[in-house]
Amino acid sequence: MSVDLRTVVAPSSVAILGASNDPDRIGGKFLWHLLKQGYQGKVYPINPKYTELFGRQCYPGLQAISDPVEHAVILMGKDRVMAALAECRAKGVRAATIIASGYAEVGTAEGRAAQKELERFARESGIRLVGPNCWGLINLLDNFCPTGAAVVGELAPMPAGNLALITQSAGVGQGSVLYRGANRGIDFGYALGVGNEADLHMADFLEYVIDDPRIDVIALVTEGFRDGPRFISLARRAALADKPIVILKVGRTELGARMASSHTGALTGSDAVADAVFRQYGVIRVDDYDELIDIAGLFAKLMQSRKLPRGDGVVAISVSGGHTALIGDLGEANGLRFPPMAEGTLARLRKILPGFGSFVNPLDLTAMAVNDPTFWRQCVETLMDDAAFDVVVPIITVARSYQDVIEDLIRLDGESEKPIVVLWAGGDFQGDGRKLLAQSSIPWVESPLRLIKGLRALADFRRHRERIARTTVMVEPPRTGAASVLREARAEGRRALTERESKDLLARAGLPVTRERLATTVEEAIAAAAEIGYPVALKVEAPDLLHKTEAGALRLNISNPRELAEAYEAIVASALRFKPDLQLRGVLVQEMVPGGEEVILGAKLDRTFGPVVMVGLGGVLVEVMQDVSMRVAPVTPEEARRMLDELKGAALLRGARGRPVADEAAVVDALVSLSRLAVELGPDLREIDVNPLIVLPAGQGARAADALIIV
């Protein structure tokens, strides 16, 4: 649901409760930063100890102000917050920011109860709350900056840009990211700290900046998602609005997840599922704040100058052979193309660099360009004219002052529609090269790997946007009655459906399953095998026996009635020894599927994002290598094919080592059908395991040989 955040993010008036005269302490810092940035709205310091602060009249309380107040920043300790909020309600304040800590992030019952009290207050009063446990809001586009972030105090008035930052961590976001970004010439429009999200969530601010036409790029620092489906909807909306989202999500590891929970009380959820969501909806994930700054800044500068690359053809140029080799290695490893130069380009370069040995991409100018920096301008200009190249990457090693080179690059960038991205690979002991770049529209990055990841993200975003624009996922109405089957099983106190029941639901959903019959006697089993055709498999059917192998409750490749009779008696006896009170229903007689590749399909209900589906190659690849791909359900056939492409063992389905090419289309169909079943089951689902799905050669389909549905 859309939330009007104008009075939160850009109010016409603000009161600072707990203001003081010391700009080095919290009470003075927030007020001083607000004034120093040049906020044009009405500012009301509140503190009965003072009559004036920083040239502004100071009031003993909100009721002493005759005019309306839209936003209140509460700088008191936790024990005084509710009283301050009651004063806000009486005054008719529309929004409030709560800086105090000691709420859910401390992990105590008292802290959680105090945060619940804030939630109730917001719901009952209609006052929108930011925080608690945050460091304020930074809106440089409207100069509304009631914040404790030191960077505002040091650099204000700060310029406004087209990059929005929304962060749950003030230290990482409004500290490291904002500081280091400003040092690299990256201008932010917003740096909004959401803290514990007692009322307003990150998604509310995300929707606000997506709708703001002044914002082109969005950076997120998050520890978890309160509303996964809403985040998915907004990620899709951002992509369709041509606004890339670059995200730093902590909590990848068990330790990281524990630390995230203790820091803001956020539930990080399954990181693997979050990763799948990012891939599915074109969200660019980074590993640390420097990568966040570089990639978000790269997008921001190029989008501001409207110079996003049209493709993924890269040309790099340097005076260092080692640097060109490194950038080539990293680029190819990350899927970038380094096309060869056109004949016309080669002819022009030979005139510029007579007697030069090798004109390959990446281009090593050798020491020739050190002696004559004009080579840089001539070579870069020539490469920019080559239609094979979508982006030109000069690698500046700074063996001498490169100020003249940088000035030439800035001129060339202003004359061309093709982007230049600089890799700054050295220091800056002579001249102001980096300062000139920071003030220009040319993005620059200091890390070769971060540069390559940024170029990869540029190419991927274009493709993701096109894919999302043409993708329409239809959520079908319930069609199998599966949910009622699961509810009945749960009412009986059962944890799972039997294999036969599970396969019946899968078949109703459109998944191919093996032919099978339930027998309660040897004679019935022999008759069923004759109907199905040998060879067959026998499996004990019991609702309280989830894993048959450890109970000795199955036999495979039975080829005649005599073997079947012996196997029947043996597996029943073994199962009863394993579990004497077994709820035995009979023995499943099942066809054996000859040959084929084994694939594992799965579905589960993720507590953050809802139903998800998984695919992996059977055997060691999934058990040891964790070679799986996941997506949020439902998935389209195109998305299902992308899932298969992501598997390291995908070549096994495609004829590797003389294998027959497997029927990938059957796997895609099964994934799509499974995803629709998962959506239909919704909260009644815990887990579906199809293991294995035997995939036959192309055109012959697939069969689910075993399946388990957990209630």
pLDDT tens-digit readout, 594-607: 888 999 999 999 88
Mean pLDDT of the region 480-495? 88
Question: Which residues of the chain are in CATH 3.30.1490.20 domains?
Answer: 515-591
pLDDT for 429? 54
Helix (H) or strand (E) holding 130: strand 128-130
* Average pLDDT score over residue span 320-345: 93
| Confidence at residue 623, expressed as pLDDT on a 0 to 100 scale | 66
Give residue 56's pLDDT.
Answer: 95
Task: Give the mean pLDDT of 166-181.
Answer: 93
317, amino acid identity? I
Query: Residue 255 has what pLDDT?
Result: 47
- pLDDT at site 680: 92
Residues 6+ apart with CB under 8 A from 479: 508, 509, 680
- Determine the pLDDT at residue 261: 38
pLDDT digits (tens, 9 = 90+) for 412-470: 999 999 999 999 987 665 557 788 888 899 999 999 999 999 999 999 998 888 888 88
pLDDT of 475 reads 62
Q: What pLDDT is attached to residue 331?
A: 93
pLDDT at 639: 94
Per-residue pLDDT tens for 639-692?
A: 999 999 999 888 889 988 778 899 999 999 999 999 999 999 998 888 999 989
Whether residue 479 has pLDDT greater than 90: no
Pick the CATH number of 515-591 from 3.90.79.10, 3.20.20.70, 3.30.1490.20, 3.20.20.140: 3.30.1490.20
Q: Which helix H or strand E contains 589, and what residues bound it?
A: strand 586-591
pLDDT at 2: 52
CA distance readout (Å), 416 to 250, 383, 428, 441, 519: 39, 12, 26, 12, 76
The predicted-structure confidence for 613-640, as pLDDT tens digits, reads as follows 999 987 666 766 678 899 999 999 999 9
Q: In terms of CATH architecture, what is 310-469?
A: 3-Layer(aba) Sandwich (3.40)
Residue 700 CB-density burial (10 A; 0-12 exposed, 13-18 middle, 19+ buried): middle
Distance CA 317, CA 405 (A): 13
Longest dimension (CA), the chain: 101
Q: List every span in the chain annotated with CATH 3.40.50.261.
A: 159-304, 310-469
pLDDT of residue 254: 56
pLDDT of residue 476: 66
Whole-angstrom CA distances from 496 to 53, 491, 708 are: 67, 11, 7
Q: Angle CA(261)–CA(266)–CA(271) in degrees, nearest 5? A: 80
Query: With 0-12 CB in 10 A as exposed, 13-18 as middle and 19+ as buried, what is 358?
Result: exposed
The span from the CA of 450 to the CA of 218, in Å, is 18
3-state DSSP call for residue 183?
A: helix
Q: How confident is the model at residue 10 (pLDDT cuts 50, 70, 90)?
A: very high
What pLDDT does residue 375 have?
A: 84
What's the topology of domain 1-133? Rossmann fold (3.40.50)
Cα–Cα nearest to 299, from 186, 437, 414, 168: 186
**In the predicted model, what is the mean pLDDT of the chain?**
91
**The residue count for the chain:** 711
Its CATH architecture, for the domain 159-304, is 3-Layer(aba) Sandwich (3.40)
Q: pLDDT tens digits for 353-404?
A: 877 767 899 998 877 766 677 888 999 999 999 999 999 999 988 655 678 8
Model pLDDT, residue 89 = 97
CATH architecture under which domain 597-710 falls: 2-Layer Sandwich (3.30)
Asked whether the beta carbons of 362 and 324 are under 8 A apart, the reply is: yes
The contacts of residue 8 (CB under 8 Å, 6+ apart) are 71, 94, 95, 128, 130, 137, 200
* 206, 212 contact by CB (below 8 A): no
Please write the tens of the pLDDT for every residue from 223-271.
889 999 999 999 999 999 999 999 999 877 654 444 443 332 333 347 8
As a whole number of angstroms, the distance between CA 679 and CA 308 comes to 37
Write down the pLDDT at residue 34. Answer: 96
> pLDDT at position 630, please?
92
